[in-house]
Amino acid sequence: MIESFERAAEIIMASELTVALTGAGISVESGIPDFRSAAGLWSRFDPGEYATIEAFRANPQKVWEMLREMDEVVSRARPNQAHRGMSELEDMGYLQTIITQNVDNLHQTAGSKDVIEYHGNASTLSCLWCGRKYLTADKRKEHLPRCECEKILKPDIVFFGEMIPEEAMNRSFELASSTSALLVIGTSAVVSPVNAIPSLAKRNGANIIEFNKEETHLTDSITDVFLKGNAGDTVPELVKIVKQKKGMDA
Ligand code: APR
């Protein structure tokens, strides 16, 4: 395993441009369940009934049962060692941009500056009818947050069946086409179109470094270095080795 961390550190330190793609797994140690692991959110809520834009329009009250549960854990969550380690890599100049599928804002709270939110962000709400926006925190007391126009509000996260924000989509694919190293952290990489990013980066010559507690369909196909374990352990371990190689005190 050590040689894998060494190898990963060498790749990152030699890389002109390094980008990360993160998923729900990086926030599990902050108390936010992921989606597809055994105790994941989709084991309790059928995404076809709770996570599509059609489901929200048809029955927003029902979808807010799931959203309320998500908001409870996200509002209490704090960045973990993995989020903080990525912010350190950015500060040292070894990580330029994070493309995240997460909506929990934990990368930004941990200090990361260049974060592309591929699936939006849960910290604001919008009215689908009149377009007014609100801070989620300001509406937390309302069991069913409503707009001044009385309609039920929707978090600014991308539901299945909604478009990915154009700027996020374009920048992510540009970066995937030019990055020389891609860190893939805590994602099953099954949801489209974001799941095309690792193979696009690979096709363009990038080294793929995967951090996951278990193997994924990427591991034996395009991953160059697989750092198995909880991201809260593997990311700080990698940062430690980068600092040692850089001659900084760990
Ligand atoms: N450390 C590292 N990896 C972890 C950890 C951990 N502590 N905990 C879980 N994982 C891994 C799991 O093994 C899995 O491979 O993180 C991955 C989480 O996968 P998913 O639950 O599918 O989450 P994600 O890939 O982010 O889902 C993508 O699907 O439902 C939609 O919009 C939602 O953004 C989400 C998208």
pLDDT tens by residue, 35-69: 999 999 999 999 999 999 999 999 999 999 999 99
The pTM (predicted TM-score) of the whole model is 0.97
Which CATH class, in words, describes the domain spanning 1-32+80-119+163-250? alpha beta
Please, where in the chain does CATH 3.40.50.1220 lie?
1-32+80-119+163-250
pLDDT of residue 1: 52
Residue among 21, 26, 28 to mutate when testing ligand 1 (max atoms within 8 A of CB): 28
198 is written with which tokens? 């690792």
Residue 107 annotated in active site = no
Nearest Cα residue to atom 1 of ligand 1:
230
Nearest CA, atom 35, ligand 1: 101
Distance CA 236, CA 218 (A): 22
CA dihedral 20, 47, 155, 168 (to 10 degrees): 30
- Give residue ranges with CB within 6 A of ligand 1: 23-25, 28-29, 34-37, 40, 101, 119, 186-188, 190-191, 212-214, 216, 230-231
Q: What is the pLDDT of residues 108-145, one digit of tens each?
A: 999 999 999 999 999 999 999 999 999 999 999 998 99
Distance 101 CA to ligand 1 centre (A): 9
Q: Quickly name the fold that domain 33-76+124-157 has.
A: SIR2/SIRT2 'Small Domain' (3.30.1600)
What is the location of CATH 3.30.1600.10 in the chain?
Answer: 33-76+124-157
SS (H, E, C) 128-175: CCCCCEEEHHHHCCCCCCECCCCCECEEEECCECCCCCHHHHHHHHHH
Q: Which atom of ligand 1 lies at the shortest distance from residue 103's CA?
A: 34
- Atom of ligand 1 lying closest to residue 35 CA: 21
